[in-house]
Chain A
């Protein structure tokens, strides 16, 4: 039972946890309500799967967490740090100062002050102005901040000025620095916004990682607990037995992992993982990890790499597209808490339809009974007709819940009146139409791809949906997002401008190398890193032909 992995996904309604064995089989799973103080739900789900494991918990080598902490902090303007915002670009860019497009309350909560100082580059690599470090000092001397965000014009092509400011701030002010070239791609305002949000989230990230590390340590899974356990076992002479127990090729790795304890990781929005050190630097990347995990989990559980994934939850249904096993990314800028940012996010279409969606005589939702479904839905003896009831009436029943149909007929409502039956039936028709339309939007006219149905409400979906080749309902689909967290790879990306002439090939090679290096920095095994995405876009109006290049590398986690 060597090398177990735990995946946890903190969603809006439920916190899911799964345990995968060395062969990638789901050997334990649990769903617990997400709590307002998110860590309680996390602990409950973790305890539930550990209880199923029994002694097996000793073999847990990795714990992967996907969480909504950062998103909630921004939406609720809670726990955010105060950020000194530095832009390097003067005299350019002064017509639109930093945070111009931020909602006032968020700006008030986050900004410790903003400055545009000389620095930055032209598209062709020349400096706009020599970097003025004294101007940076004068600005920082006048503000009280928890962190600094620095954004330089064209830093995705040349991050030199940003790095020098980073060094200065660390050395002379001892503050954490968020550097825009690490965070976003071209598009100054959107990249700057993401960089400032990232800096504001440092405290939130520390809180999450502390909570995770503490929860693991308390349960004897943490790195410290693991080391102590290792020493105890060593004292009892168990070392040799364990070493042999970890069979074959995995022996080496298992032994190594054992010395380190269960390593914690955080899931990011492209369906890959990062180490806690990496997450501490780039907390903004955890935003949107939920849908990414559910897409990756769906690919894993179904064995299909190219598909439409429909994740039906309690209040909403998320649709995404898998391309080569990874989420298709959104091409448009993404708004977070009223702020436009440009980091890559999965292309998700959310519709107001879930298991708890309230059914009315002439309509469907958009409100939902949410977690109260276990009391309020007709099948649970409640008095509210929900989509779950409508689905059950139509004979769509979750596996293992065959008695729901009887409960619907013979529940507190007594015999189902013809009128009520009609209402439920038309709700299913409406819901199907919503799903069919949404699927059509996501498939872009391609009808050869299958649809993978996941999430707690997947039973709502019909078996035949126009626009897809077939509907796949994999085992463990209800916890696909936690599975997605458990199987995630580590990745790195580069987004920059390169010459399109003779040096193009060499420049693209070096961008690939950089992406690989970043994947390794994020925790990937150098031996297993591959380039999984390469995008070239030619640019216009330049003296030298140039291309914008986006490269992504990903690989399995190093042990």
Chain B
């Protein structure tokens, strides 16, 4: 695992507009590999059943993470605490969230700890809240959270459920200066089967490599994702507001070329959640909706959406786990406050 630029491009696409900027995580990963050597990528089947998997992710405000970069010792402290609790060191690091920064940075953390990276994650994309992970959907109890901050504090929480985990972890994060490293849903390889989304690191890499040097990066990306092109056009309006700790808003894309006369509105909460064309829903969470630069096919984060950008909006199906009743209850449109019954993207959009 040393093709960080491709991984970063793929994670940005899977970030569906959120998950944080991949740049700093990439720099940390490139540096850690240079310093500690490349990171082996393991499949779940490669691990013995009782091997301990340490899911890791950064938590905090994006504005803060642009300024307050992680310290090198943070993952080590979490791994030591996990070893203290479980009586054995973690056998692999897993990205809690493959979309965005948290998909790339785990390569740095794995390199620093000298352990492999698991080819899996807990979302297959990016979601804004801590309980929105496959482990929660699979019924793994959120009974342990370990957090570490830049000052060296380690906080271990034994929450009663995922919602409490989110609430307390957030409070700890704020106390730590709105920036921390976190591990939750620590699990053995046996328990991870069916509770994590497998192959997502490889998928991110393939997505990133697909556009590299392609004559038509957009077509290459669309093919790789199996995505529907919702619209190609120009970003004509971006409205943002901060409520409840999240950036919410809407982005409007006016069609150009063949799409002239059409208009797509994206509802945002960190990530792109709902694509609406004149009252007709074209795609909705938990399916993936990503805005890319029409020319380069590079994903654009919701924070970086600007008037005038030439963009294409792509949508494609989420992991089947998110389409189960518990998956939809956790991260379907209603979980984000939209009064919408979930309809899969392939039934909403054709072509």
Task: Let me know if B69 and A122 touch, CB within 8 A.
Answer: no
- C-alpha spacing A123/B175, complex, angstroms: 11
Stretch at the interface among B24-32, B45-53, B136-144, B340-348: B24-32
- C-alpha spacing A95/B75, complex, angstroms: 11
Task: Let me know if B68 and A543 touch, CB within 8 A.
Answer: no
- C-alpha spacing A128/B152, complex, angstroms: 11
Is the CB of B313 closer than 8 A to any CB of chain A? no
Select one of B62, B170, B304 contacting A332, CB under 8 A.
Answer: B304
Is the CB of B236 closer than 8 A to any CB of chain A? yes
Residues of B within 8 A of A530 (CB): none
Residues of A within 8 A of B62 (CB): 540
Given contacts A101-B27, A122-B177, A441-B308, contact A91 B236 (CB under 8 A): no
Select one of B61, B66, B108, B304 contacting A542, CB under 8 A.
Answer: B61
Is the CB of B64 closer than 8 A to any CB of chain A? yes
- C-alpha spacing A187/B69, complex, angstroms: 10
Given contacts A91-B151, A97-B31, contact A187 B66 (CB under 8 A): yes
Given contacts A91-B73, A91-B152, contact A96 B28 (CB under 8 A): yes
Residues of B within 8 A of A154 (CB): 67-68
- C-alpha spacing A340/B66, complex, angstroms: 13
Select one of A95, A101, A541 contacting B69, CB under 8 A.
Answer: A95
- C-alpha spacing A186/B68, complex, angstroms: 10
Is the CB of B306 closer than 8 A to any CB of chain A? yes
- Interface set, chain A 64-112, CB cutoff 8 A to B: 89-97, 100-101
Is the CB of B320 closer than 8 A to any CB of chain A? no
> Which residue of chain B is the closest to A97 with respect to CB atoms?
B31
Is the CB of A143 closer than 8 A to any CB of chain B? no
- C-alpha spacing A10/B73, complex, angstroms: 49
- C-alpha spacing A543/B175, complex, angstroms: 7
Is the CB of B126 closer than 8 A to any CB of chain A? no
Task: Let me know if A123 and B236 touch, CB within 8 A.
Answer: no
- C-alpha spacing A17/B178, complex, angstroms: 52
> Which residue of chain B is the closest to A539 with respect to CB atoms?
B63
Task: Let me know if A153 and B67 touch, CB within 8 A.
Answer: yes
> Which residue of chain A is the closest to B170 with respect to CB atoms?
A541
Task: Let me know if B28 and A541 touch, CB within 8 A.
Answer: no
> Which residue of chain A is the closest to B31 with respect to CB atoms?
A100
**For chain A, which range describes its interface: under 10, 10 to 19, 20 to 34, or 35 or more residues?**
35 or more
Stretch at the interface among B116-124, B158-166, B218-226, B240-248: B240-248
Given contacts A91-B150, A126-B177, A189-B27, contact A540 B247 (CB under 8 A): yes
> Which residue of chain B is the closest to A541 with respect to CB atoms?
B61
Select one of A188, A189, A541 contacting B178, CB under 8 A.
Answer: A541
**For chain B, which range describes its interface: under 10, 10 to 19, 20 to 34, or 35 or more residues?**
35 or more
Residues of A within 8 A of B73 (CB): 91, 94
Residues of B within 8 A of A97 (CB): 31
Select one of A92, A100, A186, A543 contacting B66, CB under 8 A.
Answer: A186
> Which residue of chain A is the closest to B177 with respect to CB atoms?
A122
Task: Let me know if A540 and B69 touch, CB within 8 A.
Answer: no
What distance in Å separates the Cβ of B155 from its nearest Cβ neighbour in chain A?
Answer: 16
Is the CB of A473 closer than 8 A to any CB of chain B? no
State the majority secondary structure of interface residues on B: mixed
Task: Let me know if A123 and B27 touch, CB within 8 A.
Answer: no
- C-alpha spacing A100/B69, complex, angstroms: 13
Residues of B within 8 A of A539 (CB): 61, 63-64, 242
Is the CB of A538 closer than 8 A to any CB of chain B? yes
Given contacts A91-B152, A541-B61, contact A188 B68 (CB under 8 A): yes
What distance in Å separates the Cβ of A545 from its nearest Cβ neighbour in chain B?
Answer: 9
Per-residue contact bits, chain B 174-193, to A (CB 8 Å; 1 contact, 0 not): 11011100000000000000
Is the CB of B259 closer than 8 A to any CB of chain A? no
Given contacts A91-B73, A100-B27, A128-B150, contact A542 B67 (CB under 8 A): no
Task: Let me know if A94 and B174 touch, CB within 8 A.
Answer: no
Is the CB of B37 closer than 8 A to any CB of chain A? no
Residues of B within 8 A of A227 (CB): none
Task: Let me know if A123 and B178 touch, CB within 8 A.
Answer: yes
Is the CB of A444 closer than 8 A to any CB of chain B? yes
- C-alpha spacing A89/B304, complex, angstroms: 26
- C-alpha spacing A272/B235, complex, angstroms: 31
Task: Let me know if A186 and B67 touch, CB within 8 A.
Answer: yes
- C-alpha spacing A538/B245, complex, angstroms: 10
Is the CB of B72 closer than 8 A to any CB of chain A? yes
Residues of B within 8 A of A96 (CB): 24, 27-28, 31, 69-70
Is the CB of A242 closer than 8 A to any CB of chain B? no
- C-alpha spacing A91/B73, complex, angstroms: 8
Residues of B within 8 A of A100 (CB): 27, 30-31
- C-alpha spacing A90/B31, complex, angstroms: 17
Given contacts A444-B236, A445-B254, A538-B242, contact A93 B177 (CB under 8 A): no
Residues of B within 8 A of A332 (CB): 304, 306
Interface centre among B64, B66, B236 (most CB of A within 10 A): B64
Select one of B152, B306, B310 contacting A331, CB under 8 A.
Answer: B306
Residues of A within 8 A of B306 (CB): 331-332
Is the CB of A124 closer than 8 A to any CB of chain B? yes
Is the CB of B89 closer than 8 A to any CB of chain A? no
Is the CB of A224 closer than 8 A to any CB of chain B? no
Task: Let me know if B60 and A541 touch, CB within 8 A.
Answer: yes
- C-alpha spacing A455/B108, complex, angstroms: 49
- C-alpha spacing A332/B300, complex, angstroms: 12
What distance in Å separates the Cβ of A447 from its nearest Cβ neighbour in chain B?
Answer: 12
Is the CB of B71 closer than 8 A to any CB of chain A? yes
Residues of A within 8 A of B64 (CB): 123, 539, 541
- C-alpha spacing A122/B61, complex, angstroms: 12
Q: What would 11 more interface pairs be, CB under 8 Å, given A154-B68, A441-B308? A: A93-B68, A94-B72, A96-B24, A122-B68, A123-B63, A188-B67, A539-B63, A540-B247, A541-B61, A541-B64, A543-B178
Which 7 A-B pairs give the minimum distances between C-beta atoms?
Answer: A541-B61, A92-B150, A122-B177, A93-B69, A538-B242, A95-B28, A94-B72
- A residues near B (Cβ < 8 Å) are 89-97, 100-101, 122-124, 126, 128-129, 153-154, 186-189, 331-332, 340, 440-442, 444-445, 538-543, 548
Can you give 22 contacting A-B residue pairs, CB < 8 Å? A91-B73, A91-B151, A92-B70, A95-B31, A95-B32, A96-B24, A123-B67, A128-B150, A128-B151, A128-B177, A153-B67, A153-B68, A186-B63, A186-B67, A187-B66, A188-B67, A188-B68, A332-B306, A441-B308, A445-B236, A540-B247, A541-B170
- B residues near A (Cβ < 8 Å) are 23-24, 27-28, 30-32, 60-64, 66-74, 108, 150-152, 170, 173-175, 177-179, 234, 236, 241-242, 245-247, 254, 304, 306-308, 310
